[in-house]
Homo-oligomer: A and B are copies of this chain.
Amino acid sequence: MNCELISVGTEILLGDIVNTNAHFLSRQLAELGINVLFQCTVGDNKGRLLTALDTAFGRSDLIILTGGLGPTPDDMTKEVCAEFMGKELVLHGPSLKKIEDFFALKKIAMPESNKKQALMPEASIILENANGTAPGCIMEKDEKAVIILPGPPKEMIPMFLDGVRPYLKKLSHETIFSHNIRTFGIGESAMTELVSDLLESENPTVAPYAKNGEALLRVTAKAGSKKEAEALLTPLIGEIKKRLGSYIYGIDLESVEEAAVALLKEKKLTVAFAESCTGGLCAKRVTDISGASSVFHCGVVSYSNEIKHKLLGVSEESLEKHGAVSALVAAEMALGVKKLSGADFGVSVTGMAGPESDDPRIPVGTIFIAVTDGDRLYLKKLATGHSGKDCRDYNKFVSASNALNELRLCALSYPEKRSEGTDIREFTGSFKEL
């Protein structure tokens, strides 16, 4: 089955936003064994949208449009598609009710213009929007399907996964199953070298990717059923696990924080964060995981030295002698927040995120991470190597990732101690810099 994607939105043509919808949908369709032969982007313009539809309908069995379902006059995707398919727009009661409830809940009077979002093409499959006011729909004609979805990814993605994916699964005969093997602490090329011979394999296939400073392997099998596919994938995954060991933090997990939280839950352990340069990102990422409250006690974002001392008990001497960005202060922060919170693990991050460094001796991208279980202390010094004018977000993200991974490694071996830890009784003010 051949598919064409049409993204509608002048903001894409003007370069205001990156078209991530086409990327998401292309990957999803590839996994469903559906060939995407063309992607096309047009503005909010009736004539050009009709041209694009006409071209696409002539060469594809399936057309998926995203964007242009809003309440404003320049949103016209639904109207133009209905006209092209020769379908009337009729008021869809349940959708109108959902939109009215949405505004009622927000205690806002519903603008007239939002009513238009409840007008849907007759005899079409309506796709509910759990995260916005614009429903989507599936229109069928001449054994072809035209699917329209809202533009905002937070509305489009759930609508695709819940409404469209099951519909397409029925149409597509061969299926493709994938697993993502997520690693941390090893580069893409180093990882690739460890599995280079496996990359030759044709079914299942192994493909390396780099993403947000992490390397991952995607293993994919084509088969008639999920069961057959898994039978192909299981031995391959086993072999990869043998080669990559504890670099692997999970399979089909979204992030290292997801792995850390799952592990803490499983072992009934808790954590508290003391963050300087990451500015709350560790706490934010852990609390992005639903149910994190059972493992996360508290976080302290101690940006000023005063707070580091007052709240976390970092000694003024350490701050003066070694500076806020030092192994010693990282260690005292971790011990301080563990004491303050009573959590099983205290984790700290202090560093120079950039773009400017306020201390000539400390280059941008220098990060110190400490994890303590109250008994031993695990310290890591990081040089991210990023100091350009856009380095700040990257340095914060990678610092947080490393802190979360150190937490994961500590929890992994708990109650055993990791070898590289230091007994905190040896850890005094005279503690040496890393």
Taking beta carbons and an 8 Å cutoff, which residues of A are in contact with B?
Answer: 7, 10-20, 22-30, 36-43, 45, 48, 51-52, 55, 59, 70-74, 102, 105-108, 111, 113-114, 130-131, 152, 154, 157-158, 178, 187-190, 192-193, 199, 207-210, 218, 273, 275, 278-284, 286-288, 290-293, 296-304, 306-307, 311, 340-341, 354-356, 365, 383-386, 388-394, 396
Total identical chains: 2
Q: How far is the CA of A71 from the CA of B210 in the complex (A)?
A: 11
Provide the main secondary structure of the chain A interface: mixed
Give chain B residues whose Cβ lies under 8 Å from the Cβ of A190: 108, 111
* Contact present for B288 and A396 (CB under 8 Å): yes
* Contact present for B279 and A113 (CB under 8 Å): no
* Contact present for B394 and A154 (CB under 8 Å): yes
* Contact present for A284 and B280 (CB under 8 Å): yes
* Contact present for A23 and B19 (CB under 8 Å): yes
Q: How far is the CA of A298 from the CA of B24 in the complex (A)?
A: 37
Contact of A385 among B19, B105, B178, B388 (CB under 8 A): B105
* Contact present for A189 and B111 (CB under 8 Å): yes
Contact of A114 among B189, B291, B341 (CB under 8 A): B189
Give chain B residues whose Cβ lies under 8 Å from the Cβ of A187: 108, 111
* Contact present for A48 and B38 (CB under 8 Å): yes
Q: How far is the CA of A41 from the CA of B107 in the complex (A)?
A: 43
Nearest-neighbor residue (CB-CB) of A45 within chain B: B37
Nearest-neighbor residue (CB-CB) of A44 within chain B: B207
Give chain B residues whose Cβ lies under 8 Å from the Cβ of A102: 385
* Contact present for B303 and A300 (CB under 8 Å): no
Nearest-neighbor residue (CB-CB) of A295 within chain B: B303
* Contact present for B106 and A383 (CB under 8 Å): yes
* Contact present for B293 and A218 (CB under 8 Å): no
Contact of A390 among B130, B291, B303 (CB under 8 A): B130
* Contact present for B388 and A158 (CB under 8 Å): yes
Nearest-neighbor residue (CB-CB) of A105 within chain B: B385
7 shortest A-B CB distances, which residue pairs?
Answer: A279-B287, A15-B27, A280-B280, A280-B283, A15-B26, A130-B388, A299-B301
Q: A15-B24, A189-B114, A393-B288 are in contact. Are A385 and B280 (CB under 8 A)?
A: no
Kindly name the residue among A15, A23, A311, A392 whose own CB sees the greatest number of chain B CB atoms within 10 A.
A15
* Contact present for A298 and B307 (CB under 8 Å): yes
Beyond the given A13-B30, A154-B394, A279-B284, could you list 16 further A-B residue pairs with CB under 8 A, ordered by the A residue number? A12-B26, A15-B23, A15-B28, A15-B36, A18-B18, A18-B23, A108-B187, A158-B388, A158-B390, A273-B301, A279-B283, A283-B301, A297-B307, A298-B303, A298-B311, A300-B300
Nearest-neighbor residue (CB-CB) of A282 within chain B: B280
Give chain B residues whose Cβ lies under 8 Å from the Cβ of A14: 26-27, 30, 36, 178
* Contact present for A210 and B154 (CB under 8 Å): no
A168 CB to nearest B CB, Å: 15
* Contact present for B52 and A43 (CB under 8 Å): no
A176 CB to nearest B CB, Å: 9
* Contact present for B41 and A12 (CB under 8 Å): no
* Contact present for B311 and A392 (CB under 8 Å): no
Give chain B residues whose Cβ lies under 8 Å from the Cβ of A288: 279, 392-393, 396
* Contact present for B39 and A40 (CB under 8 Å): yes
Nearest-neighbor residue (CB-CB) of A302 within chain B: B298
Q: How far is the CA of A187 from the CA of B132 in the complex (A)?
A: 12
Nearest-neighbor residue (CB-CB) of A26 within chain B: B15
Q: How far is the CA of A39 from the CA of B287 in the complex (A)?
A: 38
